Amino acid sequence: MAQSLSVRHLVGIKDLTESDIQLILETARQFKEVINRPIKKVPSLRDVTIANVFFENSTRTRLSFELAEKRLSADVVNFSASGSSVKKGETLLDTVNNILAMKVDMVVMRHSSPGAPHYLTKHIKANVVNAGDGTHEHPTQALLDSFSIREKLGDVAGKRVAIIGDITHSRVALSNIFCLQKQGADVMVCGPKTLIPKYIEALGVKVGHDVREALAWCDVANVLRIQLERQQIKYFPSLREYSLYFGISKQMLDDLDRPIVLMHPGPINRGVELTSDAADSSHSIILDQVENGVAVRMAVLYLLAQL
């Protein structure tokens, strides 16, 4: 296995090799042991300054990155667009260059425009980590999902993973497709026809529109949230109708002829894509995903800081 990453930035899973992914997941396994000790800190990134630059709302991802940085003893600067000069018309590059002028070594950025982190990498020297760019990619989420599958099922290779829900507006779906395929998993996307992009078959995934068939096919069901805030038009009649046809209940999981693993990147719309009893059932590893997120992000930051 490679000892260092082949990339200077983590802007998308598309740019990673399979050995990059294995290195990140193996490093994350070691960091997971660290964060379960009574003293959870290691001095690996002492004197490294990391800026969390979030132009979109976030709870889990932002907290997870901040905790990962502090567990590695990095100095952390938090920037939120809502109370900043962005509101006065400052450009993305000016905002980031002003932060870098204060001698920041790494930028973790979430932005509503697809490609924003790629644009940054061409103009700044600091390492860039994409914490989600519009409906494009969310690489650390895909890595923590793979880590969670590995932890639960032993390996990702050969597993069948169904990604169910709003595929069109999801950055998690695209990153997961790339990440799972690079590790040798079979991937299916399932949802209403209006929420599945045209030509997605070109990525080598199966496409389904029946949630029960998808659950019967898969080893792992990764259920996505309906992203109402990204939908400019109505893609289905109502949330009630969506949950009737594509919602997953504990009864549906219990009726399967073998147990499957249930995942969700959060936040869950309870009663829409998942019922509460499904989300809280023994099939679910949703809270494990949150815990693993810190270890995986520690691994990413640590490995990028070595380059």
Q: Which residues are part of a known binding site for L-aspartate?
A: 88, 171, 225
Binding residues for carbamoyl phosphate: 60-61, 110, 138, 141, 266-267
Known binding-site positions? 60-61, 88, 110, 138, 141, 171, 225, 266-267
CA 279 to chain centre: 18
Dist. CA 197–CA 203, nearest whole Å: 11
